[in-house]
Structure 1
C-alpha cells in the first residue's frame, strides 16, 4: 500500500528509483496559476497578432519602421504561442515531452528572446536617425536595409543561442537529477557573456540613443526661442519636429523602464556571480516576468500610434474583409 502511494506521487510510477516526484501544490493554487498564465499567454498572442495583421495587410503601413515593429511582433507572438504554453504545462513540474523537445524548447526560448531584444535595439536606432537626422533618414533607412538587418538579427540570435546552449543541445539531460525533469544550467562564464550580449549591451545602446534624442529635443526647443522671427513654415516644421521628438523620447523612456523591470531580475544570478538553473522556483518566476515583456511590447510600440487603434476597429468590425481594404487610409 505504501509502495502504491509512493508510486502515485511520482511522474513515472514504473521508475521508482529514478523518477521525479509530482508537486504537492494545492489544487486551487494550481488552477489559479493555470488561469492567470493562460490569460497572459492569450493576451500576448492576440495583441501581437493584431500588430502583425495590421502591418501586413494595410499597404500604407509598409514602412521601414513598421517592418521592425512587425519583426518584434513575430518574436513576441512566438513567446505567447510556443514558450508560454509549454511553461504552463511545466507547472506540474513533470516533463513528459522527452529530451529532444527539452533541448529544442530552450533553444527556441533563447532565439526568440534574443531576437526580441535585437528588434528593440533596431527600433531605437531607427527612431534615433528619424529624430536626429531627419533629412537623410529616407536614404539611410530603406526597406531593403531594414529587411537585411531583421534577417541578420534572427540569424545571429540562432547562432548565438547555439553557442550558449552548446552543452545542453549535445546532452539535454546532463543536468537532470531525475526522470521527468527538463533543466538547463548556464555556467558563470556563459551567463556573463549572455548578460553583456542580451542585457547590458542593448540597454546601453537604448539609453545612449534616448539621451541623444533628449539632447536634440532640448537644443531644438532653444532654437525655437532664439528664432522667433523665423518664417511661419520654418516654425511649423520645428514645432512638428519637437512634438515628434517628445513622443519618441517618452516612448523610449517607457521601453527602458519596462525592459529593466522584466530583464533585471532574470539576470540577477549572473550579476551576483551565481550559476543560473532553470529548475529553481525563483528563476521560474523570473522567466515569466521576462516573457511578460513580450505582452507589453505591442502596448508600448503600437498603442502609442493612432493607426493601430484605427486598424483594430477595422479588424474587429470585419471591414478588413472588404475588397481593396488593404488600400484604406490608416494614417
Structure 2
C-alpha cells in the first residue's frame, strides 16, 4: 500500500506542475495559439485535473480502505471515469485534427475556426459526464452500473463479481474505449501513408515543416497514452469476459499505469516544442540569475532618474544609477 501511495504521489507532482506550466505558456505565447495546440491544452487540462483531483483521492482511498465514506467512493469513481473519458476523446480529436491538416492542408487553414474547437471540447465534456454519471443514478438493476469499493485494487469502480449490475454500462464504456483507440490508429495510419506516398518534397509547399513537428509531438503523446491505457483495457477485458480474477499485483500495476500519461504528456510536449522549450529555459535562467544577484546584493530594481543640472555640466552620479550587473540583467531581459 505504501508503494501504491508513493507511486501516486510521484505521478501527481510532475503531472500537476508540468501541465500547469504548459497551459500557462500556451495561453501567454501568441505563436502557440494554433488549433492543434488548443486541443493539446485541452488534454493538458484533463491531465492536470487527473493529477490534482484523482490521485490525491486515490491515496485517500487506499489509506481508508473499507472505511471510505460511500459519497467519497462515488465521487472518486465518477471523476476517474470522467477524466479518463475526456483524455481518450481528446487524444482521438488531436489525431483527427492532424489527419485533416495533412489530407486537406489548404481547406484546413481556410475553414478551421476556434468555434469548432470549442464545440468539440464542449461535446467531449458532456459525453464524458453522461458516461461517468450514469452509474450514479441507482439503475444497477438495469445493468447501468454501480460504483463500489474493490479490495484487490484498493479503489472504487465496477465490481465484476456482480456482472449483471454493470453489464450494459461496461459494454458502452468498452465500445467507447475501442472507438477512440481505433479512430486514433486509423488517423495516424492515414497520415503516415500520405507522407510516404507524397514524400516530403511534395508536401513542403504547404508548410510541411511545422506540420511535421506537430505530428511528431502528437504522435508521441498519443503513443504514451496508448502505452498507459492498453494494459488497463487488457486487464479489464480478461476480468470481465473470462470471469477470472487476475493477480492483484497485475491489477494494481495496470491501474497505476493508466495515470502515468498525466505526468508523461507535459514532458513530451515541453521537450518536442521548440518555442515552449526556449521560453521555459529563458524563464528558468532569468529567475536563477535574479536570485543569485539578489542574494549577493548585486541586483537593484531602481532605475536611473534624470538630474536637474545646468546646461553643459555633467550630471552627478545618482545613488539610483544601476550597477553593472543590473545593466546585464536588463540587457538579458530585453533580448
* Residues in 1 aligned to 2:245 and 2:110: alpha-carbon distance in whole angstroms: 46
Which residue of structure 1 lines up, in the alignment, with residue 258 of structure 2?
Answer: 290
Runs of at least 5 residues in structure 1 that lack an aligned partner in the other structure: 1-24, 225-234, 320-327
In the alignment, which residue of structure 1 is the partner of 2:77?
A: 106
Partner of 2:308: none
More helix by share: 2
Helix, strand or coil at the partner of 1:291: coil
Give 1:277 deviation, angstroms. Answer: 9.1
Q: 1:39 aligns with which of 10, 21, 41?
A: 10
SS of the equivalent of 1:265 reads: helix
Distance 1:236 1:127, change over 3 A: closer
In the alignment, is residue 196 of structure 1 matched against residue 179 of structure 2?
Answer: no
Residue of structure 2 equivalent to 1:57: 28
Of 225, 238, 244, the residue aligned with 1:259 is: 225
Q: Deviations over 1:152-211 (max 9, x none)?
A: 11111101212255448999786678xx9855425344333212202x111111111111
Aligned pair in 2 of structure 1 residues 213, 95: CA closer, same or farther (>3 Å)? same
Question: Helix, strand or coil: the match of 1:264?
Answer: helix
Say whether 1:206 aligns with 2:177.
Answer: no
Judged with a 3 Å threshold, the aligned counterparts in structure 2 of structure 1 residues 80 and 53 are, in CA distance, closer, same or farther, namely same
Do the aligned partners of residues 188 and 138 (structure 1) sit closer, same or farther apart at CA in structure 2, a change above 3 Å counting? same
SS at match of 1:267: helix
Which of residues 139, 146, 156 is equivalent to 2:117? 146
Q: Deviations over 1:34-58 (max 9, x none)?
A: 4443122101111101111111223
Contact 1:168–1:174, Cα closer than 8 Å, also in 2: no
- CA deviation vs aligned residue, 1:84-131 (integer Å, no higher than 9, x gap): 112123333525551112111110111111111111111111111222
| Alpha-carbon distance, 1:222 to partner | 8.1
Residue 271 of structure 1, aligned match among 237, 245, 258: 237
Give the CA deviation at 1:313: 2.6
Contact 1:217 1:246 in 2 (8 A): no
1:237 and 2:208 correspond: no
Q: Name the count of aligned residue pairs.
A: 277
Cα distance, 1:276–1:61 mapped onto 2, change above 3 Å: farther
Q: Secondary structure at the match of 1:136?
A: helix
1:305/1:174 CA distance change after superposition, 3 Å: closer
TM-score, length basis structure 1: 0.71
User: Structure 1's 162 and 205: CA in aligned 2 closer, same or farther, altered over 3 A?
Assistant: same
Cα distance 1:275–1:299, how it changes in 2: closer, same or farther (>3 A)?
A: farther
Aligned to 1:304: 272
2-structure distance, mates of 1:258, 1:173: 28
User: 1-side partners of 2:215 and 2:155: how far apart?
Assistant: 45
Cα RMSD for the two superposed structures: 3.5
Match in the other structure for 1:10? none
Change (3 A) 1:157 1:98: same
The TM-score, its normalising length taken from structure 2, stands at 0.70
CA distance in 2, matches of 1:218, 1:173: 47
**Considering only CA atoms, is the larger Rg found in Structure 1 or Structure 2?**
2
Match of 2:298 in 1: none
1:249 Cα offset (Å):
4.9
> Are the aligned partners of 2:90 and 2:124 in contact in 1 as well (CA < 8 Å)?
yes
Paired with 1:114 and 1:61, the residues of 2 have a C-alpha distance of: 26
Unaligned runs of 5+ in 2: 161-165, 289-332
Q: Any conservation in 2 of the 1:173–1:183 contact (CA below 8 Å)?
A: yes
2: CA distance, partners of 1:171 / 1:265: 22
* Higher relative contact order, structure no. (Cα contacts within 8 Å, ≥ 6 residues apart): 1
